[in-house]
Amino acid sequence: MQDKQPDPSLETPEGDSAFPRRTIRSYVMRAGRTTEGQNRALADLGPRFLLNHAPEALDFPKVFERTAPVVLEIGFGMGEASAQIAQVLPDTDFIGCEVHEPGVGAYLKRIGEQGLSNVRIIRHDAVEVLEHMIAPASLAGVHIFFPDPWHKKRHHKRRLIQPPLVALLASRLAPGGYLHCATDWEPYAQQMLEVLSSEPALSNTAEGYAPKPHYRPLTKFENRGLRLGHGVWDLVFRKR
């Protein structure tokens, strides 16, 4: 839910139906320089809000110093919309996964400016975070907003929303937990709908695409697209 973010991707070896550990990444590394403000936020706020990757499940009440629903966001870009959501939903705790350092710094800066306490960030591949740090049936929700659509057909295999990842996400959702995806690329929306509908652990909350939930703000990029007549598609599925 941001203008343009580090592009999530999914690399799956041909013919391998298992969920591979080293050949799948939830991101593509991009070059970028951190600003002075972002560097300052990383130094000042990183110790409180950044979590290190570790091969053990997080204790959410310990991490957030309270008991509340926890939502995981994969790829928050520069964190503008994510910070707005955290502010709109103060009774929910959020864990954001992002590897792009300028984005992490920008999000930390927003956290400080807005006085948010219900956010933590893991600067690591979201797939490994899901595998190692998120216990089964522990999440209230997952947000994946505007992942890279990989427009060319030969690159479709790199798209993030693929059956193996969706199965992993579903396993980490508590019963009744939700998976909310959004995209502004209709062919990707169609693939998302097909993949999510095929996951037996999930059920669609709408007949097809869902109305935009109140907590997801419109980004500048999205507003520009809407003015040009471009569509945006939300998909909200729940764990059975």
Catalytic residues: 148
Q: What are phi and psi of 235, to 5 degrees?
A: -130, 125
∠ CA 157-239-28, nearest 5°, is 30
**Cα atoms in the Cβ-side hemisphere of radius 13 Å centred on 110:** 22
**Angstrom distance (rounded) from CA 31 to CA 90:** 33
**Angstrom distance (rounded) from CA 102 to CA 108:** 10
Q: How many CB atoms lie within 10 A of CB 140?
A: 18
Residue 82: closest CA among 47, 45, 110: 110
Contact 205, 213 (CB under 8 A): no
